[in-house]
Structure 1
Amino acid sequence: MSAPTVAPKSPSREERRKRRTALIGGSLGNLVEWYDWFVYASFAIYFADSFFPGDNPTTQLMNTAGIFAVGFLMRPVGGWILGRAADRHGRKSALTLTVTMMSAAALLIAVAPTYGQAGYFGALVLLLARLLQGLSIGGEYAASATYLTEASAPGRRGLGSSFQYVSMTCGQLLGLGILITLQHTLTTAQLESWGWRIPFVFGALFAGVVFWLRR
């Protein structure tokens, strides 16, 4: 005689709420990370001459792109370091750390002094910010996929983990939307003078909100 089939226990309302909060926090953090990563590349044309002197825009952009490339070198390092930290201390603490670093990096870029104000010190601040962004996004990418999978209900983990890619694309679209808005609101001279700092201020504020959610 076969044993009776036991129906799986339905999750409580509190459990469903916690899962939704975890998915929102994980997804929004990933969105902010990729937003900050994208706006550097999209606004570089406006702030390149603020950090590198000269009359050759191509050289200025190449120098800015070189600093951008440093972030890619740091991504695997961040994935390894923060992946280990997530295993030892929990995904939540690691993901809170990644968004903290990204917020700090965005704030550094937003307040970085120009070449006319502090010489190449401004470029060093930019370099430090990109190092932090590379570490941050490497750790975010490694830990958030695992976290979103673990936070999803059994039977819906494929859907839950898909929010990593969805939120990444949404972050890039958000950065593009702010770029288009500022291009239609400010003049080119204003964007080159101070307007390029606006998206990084937004990035720091967005990251602060996500930090609160993840805490």
Structure 2
Amino acid sequence: MVRAGLQEGILGRAVGNGLIDLQVHDLRDFTTDRHKVVDDTPFGGGPGMVLKAEPMFRAVEHVRDTRGTPDAVLLPSPQGRRFTQAVAGEYSRRAHLVLLCGRYEGVDERVSTALVTEEVSIGDFVLSGGELPALVIVDAVARLVPGVVGDAESVVRDSFTRGLLDHPHYTRPASLRGLDVPAVLLSGHHGEIDRWRRQQALRRTYERRPDLLADEALTDEERQWLAAWTAGERNGAQS
């Protein structure tokens, strides 16, 4: 499941070009019984199965012996630190990351205590396992490694990179089923286009994710836009 996700698109090209090195390890390879069992029933009873600690310890020890000590051992978990663009940027500056993927009811707590340096959550919901969150984290982090994305400017303009959502995007044709591309984007005036995009990004964030504006360092012009929208809403409510 994980290998397939790493072979496609930007990630696949980045691996092929030697920009990032991604290794996938199967926990069953680090078991000692003939059935290669990686899970067991929980102590104290209860539903579901728990991933055993021993295979994970051996897997991480194998990585340390063959690849060197990792900068961080991450466990995707709904109990972890919220994964954001800023966290992705932090991880992208580390040379060696290990991600452990849980399953079923989770992993033996001794894994979190002795192996994991940080638990990380991609959202307040529960998935069947850690494979999809791991792929999300790898993709978001890899995009920030220099050279992985062909046009570096597109990374800078992504949502959340500035703390704002991204502005709207359009491509040909200029008119489609009565829906027209904003005239400013066809004007060729790069200064006005940039201003429109900044305004649209701020407006979209204000309307959809106002919580992101709390810590955002806005320009004076952007503060004026925000004040005008807020005043307009107040006036509308009063009328």
The structure with the greater share of residues assigned to strand is: 2
TM superposition score normalised by structure 1 = 0.27
TM superposition score normalised by structure 2 = 0.25
Higher alpha-carbon Rg: 2
